[in-house]
């Protein structure tokens, strides 16, 4: 992957930005806001494009979503105030693993088994919308905002922090030749929320639960927003920290720094990445494999399906950014493939699968779109699937779906499977009809041993018992 000058500048910016790591409040806020800062930087660099586009955040302006969240919040709150104090003699595992919705159920099931075995309860830091989990006597959600102290979020302090952070960003942006014009006022609300998180979580580990009772903090990342805050406070209080790293970071100029004591990763790809970019003991980066949903694996095409699916990566908030991917290029690619299908395969049907983090508010291509149907329910009926840069692309590859990788506008294969001749790839600025015809009519077979090796490299070999044993050892037996 050949990064552009912009990507290299962002990489250098982040390297120096993460050097601010300390226990001081200003430093904690700065690193917590990395995602917001990156989004502002990348939008600055994409705003000059003729066809700039912005999705709306998936939950923005959704009254029903807000009511639903409030409903679940109060259900969990009632459970907290009524029953949590009955477990005062038990150990506590703190968890924040709500980012990857596909994995929440599995990981909570495994952690609940370990907790029950070791006379422990689990305190969730994110709401899980499930009656089954609500009824689980071991699971509790901590309503941290009820415990946040108002004196820590006064307006003057917030404005001062926002001004200081913007000042530091601008100095570093100029130094790294990066465009940045965000004003301090746009950081006020994020800082206010983060300070409430900081206050609420601090109260949990200092007043409500003794650090000696806490066996560890388990998260799915620790390098931005409130997950970084949780890590810093846990670290300061001598609480063991661990990541269940449920992702593949394909853009390696971005989030390279991680902080927790232990990392549970899917495959060798992520382990090598973490060790290369962090001063961490390799023995504390453990490969556990990804729990693949084999029951949804692709079955050979029977001849009755004529569906083409384009699976888009997220364009809502480009904090996972590379110069070769922008909305204008994406829209052009989708239209070109849709037009090609209509002209050459008129009896087939083309559908765009919108990323769940995106809400299509002004997509004007006229192409059929889907944002609500689960992706595996959609692609299992597909005759050909176009993918971009996402973990899902590797998962579809692992399950042997008929996929075609769309190279970015600089002809980069950002995953590496096309360059390894294990996945079909197309450059939409060149000829691509033969590749599509090959997938539709011949279904090319790749070297099975090399394919299996690649799947293991990215996703590992998952074993449920191994996951339980490794996690239990870290939380209850490993003394650091």
What is the chain's mean pLDDT, rounded?
85
3-state secondary structure 418-477: CCCCCCEEECCCCCCHHHHHHHHHCCCCCCHHHHHHHHHHHHCCCCHHHHHHHHHHHHHH
Which of 61-75, 333-347, 405-419 is the least confident region?
61-75
Query: Measured in whole angstroms, how far is the alpha carbon of residue 220 from the centre of its chain?
Result: 8
Residue 386 bridge partners (DSSP): 310, 404
Q: Which two tokens stand for residue 371?
A: 């944002």
For 195, counting Cβ atoms within 10 Å of its Cβ (0-12 exposed, 13-18 middle, 19+ buried), the class is buried
211-226 confidence digits (pLDDT tens): 999 999 999 999 989 9
d(CA 18, CA 453) in angstroms, rounded, equals 34
Could you read off the pLDDT of 100-129 as tens digits, one per residue?
666 778 888 899 999 999 999 999 999 988
Q: Single out the residue of 410, 388, 372, 390 nearest to residue 334, CA to CA.
A: 388
Closest CA to 13 of 38, 30, 44: 38
Which residues, 6 or more positions from 300, have their beta carbon under 8 angstroms from its beta carbon?
A: none
Quickly list H helices, 88-154.
101-117, 131-135
What is the pLDDT at residue 301? 46
Which of the residue ranges 223-237, 309-323, 371-385, 465-479 would you say has the lowest mean pLDDT? Answer: 309-323
Q: Cα 147 to the chain's mean position, in Å? A: 28
Mean pLDDT of 189-211: 92
The rounded distance, in Å, linking the Cα atoms of 279 and 445 is 41
How far apart are the C-alpha atoms of 277 and 19, rounded to whole Å? 13
Q: Looking at residues 300-325, what average pLDDT do you find? A: 74
pLDDT of residue 304: 57
Query: 168-173: long-range contacts at Cβ-Cβ below 8 A with a sequence spacing of 24 or more?
Result: 168/20, 168/30, 169/37, 172/13, 172/16, 172/17, 173/13, 173/41
Report the distance separating Cα 462 and Cα 237, nearest Å. Answer: 33
What's the CA gap between 327 and 319, in Å, rounded?
14
Residue 96, strand partner residues:
219
CA distance 33 to 184: 12
Confidence band, pLDDT 50/70/90 cuts, at residue 315: confident
Q: Quick one: pLDDT at residue 167? A: 94
Question: Which residues does residue 404 pair with via DSSP β-bridges, in sequence order?
Answer: 386, 424
pLDDT band at 198, cuts 50/70/90? Answer: very high
CA–CA gap between residue 427 and residue 333 (Å, rounded) = 10
- Over residues 354-374, mean pLDDT: 69
Q: Which helix (DSSP H) or strand (DSSP E) does residue 370 occupy?
A: strand 369-370
Q: What is the chain's alpha carbon radius of gyration, rounded to the nearest angstrom?
A: 23
Q: How many residues make up the chain in this entry?
A: 480
Neighbour count for residue 38 (Cβ, 10 Å): 22
pLDDT of residue 130: 87
225-236 vs 188-203: helix axis angle to the nearest 10?
A: 30
DSSP 118: T
Of residues 268 and 375, more confidently modeled: 268
Among the listed ranges 32-41, 143-152, 168-177, 434-443, which one has the minimum average pLDDT value?
A: 143-152
How far is 218 from 238, CA to CA, in rounded Å?
14
CB 110 within 8 A of CB 97: no
288 touches 264 (CB < 8 A): yes
Question: Residue 364: pLDDT above 60?
Answer: no
Q: Which residues neighbour 479 within 8 Å (Cβ) at sequence distance 6 or greater?
A: none
Could you tell me whether strands 349-353 and 307-311 are parallel, antiparallel, or unpaired per DSSP bridges? parallel
Start-to-end CA distance of the chain, whole Å, equals 37
Domains and CATH numbers, the chain: 1-43+72-290 (3.40.50), 294-459 (3.40.50.2000)
Query: Contact 253/278 with Cβ under 8 angstroms?
Result: no
**Does residue 332 register a pLDDT over 80?**
yes
């Amino acid at each position: 992957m050949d990064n552009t000058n912009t990507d290299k500048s962002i990489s250098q910016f982040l390297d120096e930005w993460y050097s601010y790591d300390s226990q001081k409040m200003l430093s904690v806020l700065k690193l917590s806001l990395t995602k917001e800062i990156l989004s502002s930087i990348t939008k600055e660099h994409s705003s000059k494009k003729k066809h700039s586009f912005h999705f709306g955040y998936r939950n923005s302006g959704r009254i029903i979503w807000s009511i639903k969240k409030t409903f679940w919040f109060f259900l969990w709150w009632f459970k907290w105030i009524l029953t949590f104090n009955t477990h005062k003699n038990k150990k506590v595992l703190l968890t924040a693993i709500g980012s990857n919705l596909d994995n929440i159920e599995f990981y909570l099931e495994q952690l609940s088994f370990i907790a029950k075995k070791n006379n422990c309860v689990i305190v969730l830091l994110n709401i899980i919308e499930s009656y089954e989990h609500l009824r689980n006597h071991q699971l509790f959600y901590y309503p941290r905002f009820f415990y946040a102290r108002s004196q820590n979020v006064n307006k003057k302090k917030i404005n001062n922090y926002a001004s200081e952070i913007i000042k530091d960003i601008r100095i570093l942006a100029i130094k790294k030749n990066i465009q940045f014009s965000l004003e301090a006022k746009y950081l006020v609300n994020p800082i206010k929320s983060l300070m409430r998180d900081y206050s609420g979580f601090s109260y949990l580990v200092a007043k409500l639960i003794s650090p000696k009772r806490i066996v560890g903090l388990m998260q799915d990342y620790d390098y931005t927003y409130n997950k970084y805050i949780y890590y810093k406070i846990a670290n300061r209080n001598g609480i063991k920290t661990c990541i269940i790293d449920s992702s593949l970071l394909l853009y390696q100029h971005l989030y390279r720094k991680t902080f927790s004591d232990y990392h549970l990763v899917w495959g060798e790809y992520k382990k090598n990445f973490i060790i290369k970019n962090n001063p961490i003991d390799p023995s504390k980066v453990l490969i556990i494999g990804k729990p693949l949903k084999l029951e949804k694996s692709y079955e050979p095409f029977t001849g009755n399906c004529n569906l083409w699916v384009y699976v888009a990566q997220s364009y809502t908030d480009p904090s996972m950014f590379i110069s070769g991917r922008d909305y204008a290029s994406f829209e052009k690619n989708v239209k070109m493939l849709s037009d090609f299908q209509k002209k050459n395969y008129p009896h087939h049907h083309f559908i765009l699968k919108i990323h769940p983090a995106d809400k299509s508010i002004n997509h004007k291509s006229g192409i059929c779109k889907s944002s609500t149907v689960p992706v595996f329910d959609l692609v299992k009926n597909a005759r050909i699937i176009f993918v971009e840069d996402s973990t899902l692309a590797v998962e579809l590859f692992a399950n042997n779906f008929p996929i075609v990788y769309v190279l970015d506008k600089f002809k980069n294969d950002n995953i590496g499977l096309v360059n390894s001749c294990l996945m079909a790839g197309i450059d939409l600025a060149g000829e691509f009809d033969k590749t599509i015809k090959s997938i539709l009519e011949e279904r090319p077979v790749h070297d099975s041993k090399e394919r299996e090796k690649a799947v293991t490299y990215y996703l590992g070999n998952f074993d449920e018992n191994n996951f339980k044993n490794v996690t239990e050892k870290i939380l209850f037996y490993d003394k650091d």
